[in-house]
């Protein structure tokens, strides 16, 4: 089946540094990808919709200058957490849908970010 690969699966970084997380669709093209954050025992929270070749659409309350999203190709979206703080520590998950199959969601394996 379709696979979405997310990397890195775990990362520890120091406060103030930036971290980049990649999300790749391996066997399909995705015009749109989504980025979520999930705190322990809480639901997935949509952060932004990543659109290939255009600016991402951020949800209310998500700082676009802090969470930089780039969707430069139909198979790759990246999320960069800039100037990371300990409160940014969370589980970040991306998802992608094959172009034209918007109701079919494939998730990446997720990335655990710990900011120390």
Partner 1 sequence: RKEVEQDPGPFNVPEGATVAFNCTYSNSASQSFFWYRQDCRKEPKLLMSVYSSGNEDGRFTAQLNRASQYISLLIRDSKLSDSATYLCVVFSGGSYIPTFGRGTSLIVHP
Q: Which residues bind partner 1 (CB under 8 A)?
A: 6, 32, 34, 42-44, 46, 49, 91, 93, 97, 102-103, 105, 107-110, 112
The torsion region of residue 22 among left (phi > 0), alpha (psi -120 to 50) and beta comes to beta
The answer to whether the Cα torsion of 39, 41, 46, 50 is positive or negative is positive
In the complex with partner 1, the residue whose CB is nearer, 4 or 19, is 4
Shortest Å distance, C-beta 107 to partner 1: 4
Least distance from partner 1 to the Cβ atom of residue 83, Å = 26
CB 1 within 8 A of CB 105: no
Q: How far apart are CA 33 and CA 49, in angstroms?
A: 6
Q: Return the number of the residue (13 or 44) whose C-beta is nearest partner 1.
A: 44
Provide the minimum distance between the beta carbon of 39 and partner 1 in the complex, in angstroms, as a whole number: 11
User: Which helix (H) or strand (E) is 75 found in, with range?
Assistant: none
**Of 1 and 86, which CB lies nearer to partner 1 in the complex structure?**
1
For residue 27, the SS3 value is coil
Closest approach of partner 1 to the CB of residue 109, in Å: 5
Closer Cβ to partner 1, 32 or 89, answer by number: 32
């Amino acid at each position: 089946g379709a696979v979405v690969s997310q990397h890195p699966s775990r990362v520890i970084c120091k406060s103030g540094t930036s971290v980049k997380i990649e999300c790749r669709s391996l066997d399909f093209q995705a015009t749109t990808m989504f980025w979520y954050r999930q705190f322990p025992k809480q639901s997935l929270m949509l952060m932004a919709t990543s659109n290939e070749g255009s600016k991402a659409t951020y949800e209310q309350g998500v700082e676009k200058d802090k969470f930089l999203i780039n969707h430069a190709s139909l198979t790759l979206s990246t999320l960069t957490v800039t100037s990371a703080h300990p409160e940014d520590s969370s589980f970040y998950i991306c998802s992608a849908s094959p172009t034209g199959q918007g109701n079919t969601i494939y998730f990446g394996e997720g990335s655990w970010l710990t900011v120390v």
